[in-house]
């Protein structure tokens, strides 16, 4: 391991991000304790003290897990990089695959992905079968968990192997501007996956049935006509198979768009409240938020790949992160590992834009439905999902893509 200036910059960035994350967690915990014995004023008539305190305990339990995950993931990252883990794995594959650099690189990257999934497995088991179970949210059986695990593994291998092979090929044959061709490939791949997800991928994990509630369907059809939105169907997903948390979402691209409601959401809402939730989601399309996020993502990925195009030719980039012999596949893995460390500091800005979009979508819903219906639906969602009503403002800036419950409801009123 050869320490250089970049090594110290990397370690400083890790130290700063870890201290910030732990500090934010402690602030959030303090905010929960400060409001634990009193329901916020706007919710006194709709949320009981018992439900409010359950949400506080749930948030604190998740924070405790977060403390451990932050420290553990940092240790794993250091082992992978300056600890020599990636370098050791690279040497292992170089000694066992000599006939093709593309096969070598693909095997190396896939093995990293599988090891990372294996490392995360205990946390996934804890979150589902201990944390979520303790607060009454988990409905997933061991059989469902294992089935999802196998499906995810097979799907990842089927999709990732040819994609990784193609990326490494482009990096080898396209000269100094390989990153532009890789960016085009990834952009096309992303849009293709968004288009096929509703009809080919999502049904692998869940059952989707057409909405059978005729009165609600009439309401939704009327709302869609008023707002000029076209879709490929309204479906109910068996979310209760895994969790009691309720949700709704849009999926798909172009004409292949679906409106999906969790069955857990429909059981707890009045028809007019579901309509208001849907109007909020339509607001995102009306204001072209989905398109804006896609463009932002594509721009960020282009800048990131261009930066990698520079770093891949710098020996200090590899040596400073524990790699003895630089290559396309080690560069990809190193960059994917360190990018979240440095991009962490711009998270508040992206979240600020996202929260602005949520306010705009709320305003759209208030224009096309009764604002009080959206308020009552939000209150139910916060109560049923045990969401914190008064998060710490700095914690929220780094972690929340949605405004706090208090701010959203004050704005709607």
Residues with catalytic roles: 281, 362
DSSP structure string for 213-248:
-HHHHHHHHHHHHHHT---S-EEEE-GGGTBS---E
Q: Measured on CA atoms in the order 362, 366, 372, 374, is the torsion positive or negative?
A: negative
Q: Are 318 and 330 in contact (CB under 8 A)?
A: yes
Task: Give Cβ neighbours of residue 165 (< 8 Å, ≥ 6 apart).
Answer: 102, 106
Q: Measured on CA atoms in the order 53, 57, 62, 63, is the torsion positive or negative?
A: positive
Instruction: State whether residue 138 is helix, strand or coil.
Output: strand
What strands lie across the sheet with 208-210, from one edge to the other? 208-210, 234-237, 256-262, 248-253
Residue 370: name the closest of 113, 378, 331 by CA: 378
Q: How many CB atoms lie within 10 A of CB 225?
A: 10
Q: Are 226 and 368 in contact (CB under 8 A)?
A: yes
Residue 100: name the closest of 171, 153, 165 by CA: 165
Residue 371: name the closest of 413, 406, 400, 330 by CA: 413
Specify the DSSP class assigned to residue 82.
Answer: T
Q: Are 282 and 41 in contact (CB under 8 A)?
A: no
């Amino acid at each position: 391991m050869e320490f250089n200036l970049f090594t110290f910059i990397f370690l400083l960035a890790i130290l700063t991000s870890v201290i910030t994350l732990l500090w934010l967690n402690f602030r959030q915990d303090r905010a929960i304790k400060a409001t634990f014995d009193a329901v916020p004023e706007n919710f006194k008539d709709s949320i009981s003290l018992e439900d409010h305190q359950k949400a506080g305990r749930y948030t604190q339990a998740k924070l405790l897990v977060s403390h451990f995950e932050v420290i553990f993931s940092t240790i794993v990252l250091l082992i992978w990089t300056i600890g020599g883990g990636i370098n050791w794995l690279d040497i292992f594959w170089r000694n066992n695959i000599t006939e093709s650099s593309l096969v070598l690189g693909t095997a190396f990257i896939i093995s990293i992905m599988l090891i990372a999934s294996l490392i995360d497995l205990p946390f996934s088991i804890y979150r589902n079968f201990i944390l979520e179970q303790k607060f009454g949210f988990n409905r997933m059986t061991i059989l469902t968990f294992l089935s999802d695990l196998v499906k995810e593994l097979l799907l990842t291998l089927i999709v990732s192997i040819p994609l990784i092979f193609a990326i490494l090929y482009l990096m080898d044959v396209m000269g100094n501007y390989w990153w532009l061709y890789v960016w085009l490939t990834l952009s096309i791949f992303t849009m293709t996956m968004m288009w096929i997800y509703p009809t080919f991928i999502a049904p692998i994990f869940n059952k989707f049935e057409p909405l059978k509630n005729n009165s609600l369907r009439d309401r939704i059809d009327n709302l869609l006509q008023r707002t000029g939105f076209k879709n490929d169907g309204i479906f109910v997903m068996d979310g209760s198979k895994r969790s009691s948390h309720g949700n709704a979402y849009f999926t798909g691209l172009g004409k292949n768009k679906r409106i999906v409601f969790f069955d857990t959401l429909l059981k707890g809402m009045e028809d007019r409240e579901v309509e208001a939730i849907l109007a909020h989601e339509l607001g995102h399309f009306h204001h072209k938020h989905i398109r804006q996020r896609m463009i932002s993502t594509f721009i960020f990925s282009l800048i990131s790949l261009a930066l990698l195009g520079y770093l891949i030719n710098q020996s200090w980039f590899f040596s400073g992160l524990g790699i003895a012999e630089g290559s396309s596949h080690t560069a990809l893995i190193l960059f994917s590992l360190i990018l979240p460390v440095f991009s962490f500091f711009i998270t508040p800005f992206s979240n600020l834009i996202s929260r602005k979009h949520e306010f705009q979508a709320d305003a759209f819903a208030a224009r096309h439905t009764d604002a009080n219906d959206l308020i009552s639906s939000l209150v139910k969602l916060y109560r049923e999902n045990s969401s914190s009503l008064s998060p710490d403002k700095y914690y929220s800036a780094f972690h929340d893509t949605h405004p706090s419950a208090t701010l959203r409801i004050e704005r709607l009123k």
